[in-house]
A = this chain, B = another copy of it.
Amino acid sequence: MRITIIGSGNVATHLAAALKNAGHKIVQVYSPNYQNASLLAYHVGADAISDFSAINGANTDLFIMSVKDDAIADACQKLAIHQKIIAHTSGATALLPGVNMGVFYPLQTFSKTKELDFSQVPLCIEGSDDQTTETLEQLAHTVSKNVYRVSSDQRKILHLAAVFACNFPNALYAVAQGLLAEYQLDFNMLRPLILETAEKVQQNLPATVQTGPAVRRDEKTMQYHLNLLNHRPELQDIYRSLSQQIIKMDNALKGDE
């Protein structure tokens, strides 16, 4: 397919590279910042543009819009005149009204500096009509083994769940790193544990492999930990609420609720 990329952020960068590697033609990369557009365009053999009026709608089959959530509606309105498929990549934004509208949402965390295997990235597809959905689904299969049809309502839940499964665990890694630093301990000591914890749930359901003082109802250790955090009341709150959540989920798992 001939594809135009609107945006030059982390998602646009990884997606454009994966699409090019799969044999598609990236025709243009648009970013309001010409330097950003150029950098990505160069990598994927496309033309860089920073002016919306320079978009060549006749020479493309599909616009992939990877811009900030609050810029999606406006960009979409400007692109509609070209009468091609317009797909956004946002987890939090509903399918836009109109014809030829779609969603191409990669459920992954991307950094420009870290390579990753795109074929494992789950792609969530939605379209305003069957033909759009099928076109996007076929395109998705060319770059990933994990393609799902997901409604806007389901996608909002996925996006929320991703905050719990990615953003919040990373915040807790940062809390742990800060505690170690306070006592001159090396974060390398925790890195294998973090990785193993994530690897464990690749085969198991998380509730079934929960470990630690809360799931053991080890009140003595929990109280001791809370005492260690006396100087950090905000971390005591997090410790208490997550420990309560662990006990609640464990009770549910055991059928006590």
Contact = CB atoms under 8 A, between A and B. Distances in A.
Interface string A163-180: 111111111111111111
Given A160-B228, A161-B190, A241 B249 contact: no
Contact of A199 (B153, B190, B195): B195
A109 interface: yes
A87 interface: no
A122 interface: yes
A156 interface: yes
Interface residues of A, number: 95
Interface in A218-237: 218, 220-221, 224-225, 228-229, 234-235, 237
A188 B146 contact: yes
A229 to B, nearest CB: 7
Interface of A: 69-70, 92, 107-109, 111, 114, 116, 120-122, 124, 146, 148, 150, 153-154, 156-180, 182-207, 209-215, 218, 220-221, 224-225, 228-229, 234-235, 237-239, 241-242, 244-246, 248-249
